[in-house]
């Protein structure tokens, strides 16, 4: 899964709006998104993930109108450019998800998939689209990390099913870097195979994350090798989807794993 950040403040510095003159994508930004999407598909991306709000610590929150204004033009253009490649919308807002699906997205990626709010699940159910439920917590406090992550995700699956999402349309993500300390993240990497107990495909997003930088004392743009190691670990443990910035290298690592 290749990452397309339509943001000015992505932690990895790859946001397409980082040098844009406004908060909405102009023609040049949309064209850049299309070029990036095509390049990622050529490099081996099976899916693309488009997001209009950074999820890094300390990010600036955006409202529904602004987030939709960022992603909708990009989704329309990317959908036309790579019509056969599934696209997920990375959002926590049901209104943005609905607008994104109207613009050509095929699935929803919810970084607060364990929230008690079922609004995104209802959108996924009404549209009949896949939903990625990512684990997250407001505070990284656990008594027993892996069992608690599994329990939270199981509860999220059950809520989504009650909201009407089909079992076959659900994926889970352990939320590497979300509501967890670096020590928690490393522990999760070692136990990824236990997520298979949930019976759903697993997505994993470790690309350029701060935990990797802390271990190696490297900035975001020098974390490729660390990302490749986590991709290989994940695929070997049974992960089905890896969400990455550097598609070609990660696709090769995944094939070897």
Tens digit of pLDDT for each residue in 27-37? 888 999 999 99
**Six token digits for residue 211:** 């935990």
The alpha-carbon radius of gyration of the chain (Å, integer) is 17
Q: Comparing 96 with 117, which gets the higher pLDDT?
A: 96
Q: Is the pLDDT of residue 229 over 60?
A: yes
Distance CA 166, CA 161 (A): 6
- Domains of the chain, earliest start first: 1-105 (3.20.20.20), 109-257 (3.20.20.20)
Residue among 80, 52, 51, 74 nearest 65 (CA) = 52
How far is C-alpha 203 from the chain's CA centre?
A: 8
Mean pLDDT, residues 15-22 taken together: 55
**What is 76-122 written as a DSSP string?**
HHHHHHSTTS-EEEE-S-HHHHHHHHHHT--EEEETTTTSS--HHHH
79 is catalytic: no
Q: In what order do the strands lie in the sheet with 131-134?
A: 2-5, 48-51, 87-90, 107-110, 131-134, 170-173
Mean pLDDT, residues 171-196 taken together: 97
Q: Name the pTM for this structure.
A: 0.93
Q: Is the pLDDT of residue 19 over 70?
A: no
Distance CA 9, CA 42 (A): 26
Query: Residue 18's pLDDT is what?
Result: 54
Burial class (CB in 10 A: 0-12, 13-18, 19+), 188: buried
Q: Is the pLDDT of residue 233 over 60?
A: yes
Sign of dihedral through CA atoms 253, 12, 114, 93? negative
CB atoms within 10 A of CB 34: 17
pLDDT in tens, 158-167: 999 999 999 9
Cα dihedral angle (7, 19, 11, 255), rounded to 10 degrees?
Answer: 80
- Residue 241's H or E segment, with its range, is strand 241-242
Q: Is the pLDDT of residue 139 over 80?
A: yes
* DSSP-assigned letter for residue 134: E
19 is catalytic: no
Query: Residue 61's pLDDT is what?
Result: 83
What is the overall mean pLDDT for the chain?
Answer: 93
pLDDT in tens, 49-107: 999 998 766 667 889 999 999 999 999 999 999 999 999 999 999 999 999 999 999 99
- Catalytic residue chosen out of the listed positions 200, 208, 209, 223: 209
Q: Is the pLDDT of residue 21 over 60?
A: no
- Catalytic residue chosen out of the listed positions 70, 93, 200, 243: 243
66 in helix, strand or coil?
Answer: helix
């Amino acid at each position: 899964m290749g990452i397309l950040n339509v943001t000015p403040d992505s932690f990895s510095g790859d946001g397409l709006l980082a040098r844009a003159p406004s908060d909405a994508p102009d023609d040049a930004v949309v064209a850049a998104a299309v070029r990036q999407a095509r390049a990622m598909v050529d490099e081996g991306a099976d899916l693309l993930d488009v997001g209009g709000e950074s999820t890094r610590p300390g990010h600036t929150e955006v409202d529904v109108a602004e987030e939709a204004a960022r992603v909708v033009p990009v989704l329309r253009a990317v959908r036309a450019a790579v019509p056969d490649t599934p696209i997920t919308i990375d959002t926590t807002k049901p209104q943005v998800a609905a607008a994104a699906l109207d613009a050509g997205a095929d699935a929803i990626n919810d970084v607060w998939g364990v929230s008690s709010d079922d609004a995104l699940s209802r959108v996924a159910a009404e549209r009949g689209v896949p939903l990625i439920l990512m684990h997250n917590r407001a505070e990284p406090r656990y008594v027993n990390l892996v069992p608690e992550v599994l329990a939270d995700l199981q509860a999220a699956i059950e809520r989504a099913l009650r909201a009407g999402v089909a079992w076959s349309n659900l994926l889970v993500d352990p939320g590497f870097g979300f509501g967890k300390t670096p020590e928690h993240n490393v522990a999760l990497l070692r136990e990824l195979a236990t997520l298979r107990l949930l019976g759903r495909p697993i997505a994993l997003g470790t690309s350029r994350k701060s935990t990797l930088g802390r271990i190696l004392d490297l900035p975001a743009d020098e974390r490729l090798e660390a990302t490749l190691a986590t991709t290989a670990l994940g695929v070997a443990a049974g992960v089905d989807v890896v969400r990455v910035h550097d598609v070609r290298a990660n696709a090769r690592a995944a094939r070897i794993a």
